[in-house]
Amino acid sequence: MMKAGQFFGTTVPKYVIENNGKFLTYTSALTFTVSGLGQGLSVLNNKKLPKDDKKYIFYQEMGTMGLNLAALLAFSLKFGKWGENWAKSGNFLPNGVKSSQVKEYIKKLGQSGAEMTKVDSKIATHIKATGVAATLLGQIVALNVVAPLVRNVLAGCVDKYCKHCKKDGKDKFIPSPVLPASPIRNEQVPVTMFTSSLHSTKASDMFNIFADNPHKNVKELLNHDKTN
Amino acid sequence: MVTIPRSRNVAFGLNAPKCFTEKAAKLANTQPSMQRLYIGATALVTQTALDYGKWTNPYADDNTRKNCATRTFAKMIVTTGSGVLARTAGEWLGRNGLKKGLFKVPEGFENVIEKAYETTEAQKSQLISMGVKLEEIADKTPKQIQHTLTKKKYPAAIGAMAGVAMAVVSVFVADMLFIDPITNWMLDKCPWLNKNKKAKDIDNKQQCEKSSKG
């Protein structure tokens, strides 16, 4: 069994030097997971956030955490590999180097004891740098574009699903973040129908309908609204 | 020996900009603090915009979207700041730990360096990218250069590890302690958010009154 001292003193530093791009990816995944947990707890403890927003933001944080992890590992590692292959194939060359020289360098890598020249070291550094740059680009795309877009959609869906489950258990309608809070929604309303019509009807209009017809069947009201 | 025609090189080979090639050694050894800074700086713009946009955050109402965007903005400032600081502190600790005798380079680690940077030229370019002047290493033998690089690289690797370890602790603590006070402060101080909140409160009150009358 490997000792902890050897692991942290030799194995990990060796990995950091040899695979810097992967090290950055894995450590990012670790820190973003811990960060997500911390932020989720801080949302629950925030007393100044409105209750509706708090729930929505909590789901958003948890969604972000999972997505960051998945997106990071998927995009970052793939981008890094693409970057390295792009440079290795001779399609992205160091300044002042020809693609034939890159091909010669790749051949040398397969031969044991081949003498490396100044140009070879330039190519080796270039390949490594392209890999790391592509990894960083992958991380930026994954964390700052893909994950926020998907999490916003996902948080809305999870939030609605949770309300639906709660309604089934307690027969109580929990206010949605799409709608302002109102005591009228403590009535027994079939959530599935209600949420399915959210996109076709504005929240304020829905309230006006319910407020004006408190004793009418919800299905009738929704049909009435659609026909209008 | 098979030579590839020049025209073929031009047709398929895209040359990297000169600045990329010059800074390749530095880029290949990007430290976690710089990586966090790149991600945080871009996130400050993109994530805030995506949370605020109606099309990019379709399930939330106006007020929730504004709250989300404000929170994301505050979050990015705090997390990027704390992340970069923690990583920089860890890297500083790693760089200076060897000098202060906190740890020493393990035996045989020079072989790792030799394997990672095969030529003396590559080792020299690594040293230059780490802030060593060319004059300082011009007269040194390949063995001495390898030794110098090991003494530079090992602390940097330990620093990267220490930085990440400190970041893991700091993100949890700093995010828990500072994100919400800053978010609350921004919600209180931003006039457009207050206006929106008041409008929502009035709307809710009117709805309640209307329903109680009905």
> Pick the residue with more confidence: A138 or A207?
A138
Interval A83-93 mean pLDDT: 86
Find chain A residues with C-beta within 8 A of B212's C-beta: 183
Measured CA to CA, the distance from residue B170 to residue A77 in angstroms comes to: 25
- Whether chain B has a CB inside 8 Å of the CB on A150: the answer is no
A72 shares its domain with A153: yes
Residue A225 neighbours by CB distance under 10 Å: 16
Residue B125 domain-assigned (yes or no): yes
For residue A19, being part of any structural domain is answered with yes
Could you tell me if residue A121 is inside a domain? yes
In this structure, the answer to whether residues A208 and A156 fall within a common structural domain is no
State both tokens at B95: 């760089």
Instruction: Specify the number of domains making up chain A.
Output: 2
- Of the residues A95, A145, A160, A212, the best mutation for testing chain B's interface (the one with the most B CB atoms within 10 Å of its CB) is A95
- Chain A residue closest to B39 (CA)? A140
Q: Is residue A138 part of a domain?
A: yes
Say if B10 falls within a structural domain. no
What is the reported pLDDT for B187? 67
Contact B28 A41 (CB under 8 A): no
> Domain total for chain B?
1
Report yes or no on B100 lying in a domain: yes
Tell whether A117 and A211 lie within a shared domain: no
Structural domain boundaries, residue B102: 31-187
Helices (H), chain B: 6-12, 18-22, 24-28, 32-52, 62-97, 109-116, 120-129, 134-138, 142-189, 191-213
- Residues A191, A141 within the same domain: no
Looking at the structure, tell me whether residues A213 and A110 fall in a common domain: no
The predicted structure's pLDDT at residue B113: 84
Domain co-membership, A130 together with A188: no
End position of a domain, from candidates A170, A196, A218: A170
pTM: 0.69
* Among A99, A115, A17, residue whose Cα is nearest residue B117: A17
pLDDT single digits (tens) B16-50: 887 887 788 788 888 889 989 999 999 999 999 99
Residue of chain A whose Cα is closest to the Cα of B47: A144
Rounded to an integer, the average pLDDT of A203-225 is: 47
pLDDT above 60 for B100: yes
Domain co-membership, A138 together with A202: no
- What secondary structure, in 3-state letters, does A45-87 show? HCCCCCHHHHHHHHHHHHHHHHHHHHHHHHHHHHHHHHHHHHH
Q: Specify whether A210 is located in the same domain as A164.
A: no
Identify whether residues A148 and A219 lie together within a single domain. no
- The whole-number pLDDT of residue A107 equals 80
Region of poorest pLDDT, from B23-32, B145-154, B187-196: B187-196
Q: What is the pLDDT of residues A8-44, one digit of tens each?
A: 888 888 888 888 888 888 888 888 788 788 878 878 8
B196 pLDDT band (50/70/90 cuts)? low
Hunting for tokens 């929106």 — which residue is that? B196
Whether residue B196 lies within 8 A of chain A, CB to CB, comes out as: no
Looking at residue A82, its pLDDT comes to 92
Mutate to test the interface with B, among A2, A3, A52, A53 (most CBs of B within 10 A): A53
Average pLDDT, chain A: 71
Do A47 and A81 belong together in one domain? yes
Mean pLDDT in residue range A195-202: 37
pLDDT at B191: 60
- Report pLDDT for B8: 44
Given CA atoms B150, B155, B160, B165 in this order, what sign does their dihedral have?
Answer: positive
Question: What sign does the dihedral A206-A207-A212-A218 (CA atoms) show?
Answer: positive
pLDDT exceeding 90 applies to what percent of chain B? Answer: 7
Question: Could you tell me if B152 lies within 8 Å of chain A, comparing CB atoms?
Answer: no
| A107 and A204, same domain (yes or no) | no
* Interval B59-95: pLDDT, tens: 788 888 887 888 788 878 877 888 899 899 988 988 8
Rounded CA gap, B64 and B43, in Å?
19
Q: Is the residue at B197 inside a domain?
A: no
Q: Which helix (H) or strand (E) holds A99?
A: helix A99-110
Residue A3 covered by a domain: no
**Residue B131 touches chain A, beta carbons under 8 Å:** no
Considering only residues 7 to 66 of chain B, which have any Cβ-Cβ distance to chain A shorter than 8 Å? 8-9, 12-18, 20-25, 27-30, 32, 35, 38-39, 42-43, 46-47, 50-51, 56-61, 63-64
pLDDT in tens, B161-179: 988 888 888 877 776 777 7
Task: Give the whole-angstrom CA distance, residue A54 versus residue B8.
Answer: 60
A16: domain range? 11-170
Q: Is B15 helix (H, G, I), strand (E, B) or coil?
A: strand
Q: Is residue B137 part of a domain?
A: yes
C-beta separation of A149 from A25 below 8 A? no
Q: Does A5 reside within a domain?
A: no
Which residues, in sequence order, are CB contacts of A192 under 8 Å at separation 6+?
A: A164
pLDDT value of position A186:
33
pLDDT given for residue A226 in this prediction? 47
Residue B1 placed within a domain: no
Residue A4 lies in a domain: no
CA dist list (Å): A72 to A58, A90, A141, A222, B116: 21, 27, 9, 43, 26
- Distance, CA of B144 to CA of B146 (rounded, Å): 5
pLDDT at B11: 43
The pLDDT confidence band at residue B213, using thresholds 50, 70 and 90, is: low
The Cα–Cα gap between B69 and B183 comes to 10
pLDDT for position B89: 92
The yes/no answer to whether this complex scores an ipTM above 0.85 is: no
Mean pLDDT of B113-137: 79
User: Does any domain span residue A2?
Assistant: no
Query: Is residue B61 a contact partner of residue B10, using CB atoms and an 8 Å limit?
Result: no
